[in-house]
Structure 1
Amino acid sequence: MKIEEHNLIEPGFKKNFDFVDTIRCISMMGIVWEHSSAISIELYTDKSSLLVQSITLQIFKFASIAFFLIAGFLINHKFQEYPARQYLKNRFKNTVKPWLFWVVVFMSITILDRLVAYAKGSDGGLLVSDFPLYFYNLTKMILFFSPYWFILNFLICISILLLFKRFLYKIWLGVILGMVSIVYSVNLHYGWFETSHSAALFGFVFYLWLGVYLNKYFDQFRHLINKTPWFVIYTLLLISLSMALLESFYLVNLGIKDAYNTLRFTNIIYSLVAFFALFKMGSLSFLKKLKPRQTTYGIYLIHFIILERVLALIFQPLKLDFSQFSIWVNTGITLGRFLFAYIMSLVLTMLISKTKMKWIVGQ
């Protein structure tokens, strides 16, 4: 998801934020990895397979929260520079227009696929018998139950912070938003309401606020992280990762389908520690070749189409049944899907950015 263009940041300010490209690039890899998974959490029950499955699904689970933290870092000054209406207008141009374009592309390809299937004699289902209902269900799926939902979620989070702009640096606001997020964490165990990410409408506002707050006190935050020894960071990473795995095991045993939800309390801790570790790591020069500043949003918008439409078209004739494969085979398939989706999305974004259509990848 797009966060904020570096070329809108003052030159002296930009230098301090070189770490953003590293976090942005690694986090986007993590998001594509998560969406590339060929592993169903209900599939494996033996301990060794469950452990491999959990590590595979958990290792990059910090990515979404990291993006909201980065967004907070980068939008803080924009909140102060522009009136709310002007800021939202700029955001629409750079974020919403590309998002709408790819939503329409995904929807059109999906409908075309069903039309071709119907023409070949396959069951057209609602597409033929009740197209308005089919279109409604497809729209609902794309907007609320696909990765495209997080763009809407992000914009809602920004709007909420703009509403409370007067109190943006108040601790009490962060406490309230943090408590809202924890409600979602507790709900995973008790099921008071729907646990899917589309129901977590306000669960991510806290991390956007936290990014804004850390930006406000950036020098103090940087000093704290820089003086923290690496062995402490590594220890905290190992402990938080282990805690997240244990909570997932517990939720799986309870029969919770959303056992790897991003807003698990232990995953929140893991995500924050991972963010601090990446911050301490700083800028990685070899990642600059991937141009994360220019390509991240395009990769996010395109990768889901690659995974759901292109790969589906390629592998559909093979009639693969992932449930018949071992955890190791499915992990290998996940790796293959990830590499294909990430590389294709990256290449397409780079090519598009060189044309007059570059606005569809947020440039």
Structure 2
Amino acid sequence: MQKSFAGSRSVPAHPQRTEGYLFVDNARFLSIVCIVLLHTNWFEVDPTPSLLESAIVALRGFGILTFFVITAFLMASKMQKPQFRVLEYYRDRVNRIGKPYLVWLAILLSITFARLISLGKFRLIDIPLEIWHTTFFTAFWYIPVLLFSLAVMLLLRQHWWKPWFPAAALGASVVYGVNQYYQWFTPIHSFAFFGFLFYMWLGLWLYRNLERVQAWVLALPWWKVLAATTLGLILATAEARLLIHLGSLNPYDGLRISNQIYALICLLVILKLPWRLAPSFVDVRKDSYGIHLVQVLINTLGKSAITLALFALGLDRSFTFFDRVPDYVPNPLVRIAIWFSWFVLVYGISLWITQQIRRTRLAWIVGGG
């Protein structure tokens, strides 16, 4: 039996339910953990991180690419339904992803403008710059890039299975990776509007070939998978440290070549895992997007509160504590302990707020409803 993607060649339909893939839930959970872990990092501007710190930052680098893969995988699942319509699907994505994003973006911008006004630094001319910065230099960058990528993929759906499409998409991802060294354009993945198309195509391909891929992955010995993962992490860490040495603007960029390789290996690990990773109090399908949105606000407010407290106590009058964490906390193990403690706090608060909002009429602002 075969069903087809709208406007594409026929693809095998899976006998499994289109909901409830264990690896998708595990990928969602790990991706959100990685994203929050990244943005709760207190020493991201450290020009001379310890090897352990570099390895931990590199460790969570697979998260964002995995998110694009599972987004397309779930889109492929939706496209199997007879009532699927491209415009209706995209409109639903805009409503469920775009509208909540605009709400939290507006909240964060309002707080930013209120802070500038209180400091006497607010200027009308700075409004576009603040909007630009908040949109593309916080964790919010993911949403406009995702919606753009979805639009491109849907517009080109008739070409998905033509050989040139994955080749061109992979070529774009490689260009972004090589650009880390040559800087033909700003080497930051939050501007990489065409850099993630290959990983969306990979999600479509994975859905189409899931049974064969899972059989192959399950047959792989764990020692080979873990050895490959370790090697991938070593490469990702080494390239990040090389980019730091070269003065890169974003040495841990998600599209650097080694991280793309590492992310693909991590995807195999996630496919092979036989158990659910998320604790029972986390509903990865209902909580993940809300956590992603809320954590930006919690992290920003928390760091602002710490900065003000240090100023009030006379410990830092320059408001630059988070730019100079290695100077204040020279021991890398202590920095890592602080980082993970802050991550647990931000993740926990974001999860709680998301779950509380989901019980109200405002559930739509965290992707529910």
> What is the match of residue 27 of structure 1?
31
What's the offset of the Cα at 1:136? 1.1
Q: 1:25·1:287 contact (CA, 8 Å) conserved in 2?
A: no
- The CA deviation at 1:198 is 2.8
Change (3 A) 1:161 1:286: closer
Residues 298 and 346, structure 1, Cα contact 8 Å, conserved in 2: yes
Match of residue 127 from structure 2:
135
Offset at 1:13? 1.9
* 1:296 aligned residue (284, 288, 302): 288
User: CA separation in 2, counterparts of 1:148 and 1:283?
Assistant: 30
Q: Which of 189, 193, 203 is the aligned partner of 2:185?
A: 193
Q: TM-score, normalised by structure 1?
A: 0.89
Residue 282 of structure 1: CA displacement?
Answer: 3.6
The structure in which a higher percent of residues are helix is 1
Kept in 1, the 8 Å contact 2:47–2:244? The answer is no
Aligned equivalent of 1:334: 339
What CA distance in whole angstroms lies between the structure 2 residues aligned with 1:41 and 1:313?
A: 20
Aligned residues with identical type, % of pairs: 28
Q: Secondary structure at the match of 2:194?
A: coil
Offset of 1:275 from its aligned partner?
1.3
Given the superposition, is the C-alpha separation of residues 147 and 15 from structure 1 closer, same or farther in structure 2, using an over 3 Å criterion? closer
Paired residues of 2:187 and 2:249 also in contact (CA < 8 A): no
Partner of 1:250: 242
1:202 aligns with 2:206: no
Q: For residue 357 of structure 1, what is the aligned residue in structure 2?
A: 362
1:1-363 equivalences under 5 Å are 12-14=16-18, 17-44=21-48, 49-79=49-79, 81=81, 82-115=84-117, 117-118=118-119, 124-125=120-121, 127=122, 130-131=123-124, 133-284=125-276, 287-318=279-310, 319=316, 320=321, 321-324=324-327, 325-326=329-330, 327-363=332-368
1:166 Cα deviation from its structure 2 partner: 0.9
Code of the aligned partner of 1:201: F
What is the letter of the counterpart of residue 212 of structure 1?
L
Q: Which runs of 5+ in 1 are unaligned?
A: 1-9, 119-123
Moved more, 141-150 or 291-300: 141-150
Shift, 1:39, TM fit: 1.2
CA displacement, residues 67-88 of structure 1 (integer Å, 9 cap, x when unaligned): 1111111001324542221111
TM-score normalized with structure 2 length: 0.88
1:222–1:171 Cα change, 3 Å: farther
Code of the residue aligned with 2:96 in structure 1: it is N
Go from structure 1 to structure 2 and tell me whether the alpha carbon gap of 1:314 and 1:246 turns closer, same or farther (over 3 Å shift). Answer: closer
Contact 1:41/1:257, CA 8 A, preserved across alignment: no
Cα 1:252–1:344 change in 2 (3 A) is: same
The aligned amino acid for 1:114 is L
1:67 and 1:286 map into 2 onto residues whose CA distance is 16
Query: Residue by residue, what CA displacement relative to the aligned partner does 1:80-117 show, whole Å, maximum 9, x if unpaired?
Result: 542221111111221111111111111112222223x3
CA–CA distance in 2 between the matches of 1:65 and 1:141?
22
Q: How far 1:286 moved relative to its partner?
A: 5.3
Measure, in 2, the Cα distance between the counterparts of 1:145 and 1:352.
26
CA distance in 1, matches of 2:306, 2:113: 17
Select between 98-107 and 320-329 the one with higher mean Cα deviation.
320-329
Partner amino acid, structure 1, of 2:52: V
- Larger RCO: 1 or 2 (CA < 8 Å, sep 6+): 1
Relative to structure 1, the CA distance from residue 285 to residue 192 in structure 2 (aligned partners, 3 Å threshold; closer, same or farther) is closer
Deviates more, 1:257-266 or 1:290-299: 257-266
Q: CA deviation at 1:315?
A: 4.2
User: How many residues of Structure 1 are paired with residues of Structure 2 in the alignment?
Assistant: 341
Q: What CA distance in whole angstroms lies between the structure 1 residues aligned with 2:20 and 2:291?
A: 25
Q: Which runs of 5+ in 2 are unaligned?
A: 1-13, 311-315
Query: In structure 2, how many angstroms separate the alpha carbons of the residues matched to 1:252 and 1:184?
Result: 17
Deviation at 1:50, TM superposition (A): 2.7
Please state whether the residue corresponding to 2:35 is helix, strand or coil. helix
CA distance in 1, matches of 2:17, 2:98: 26
The CA RMSD over aligned residues, in Å, is 2.0
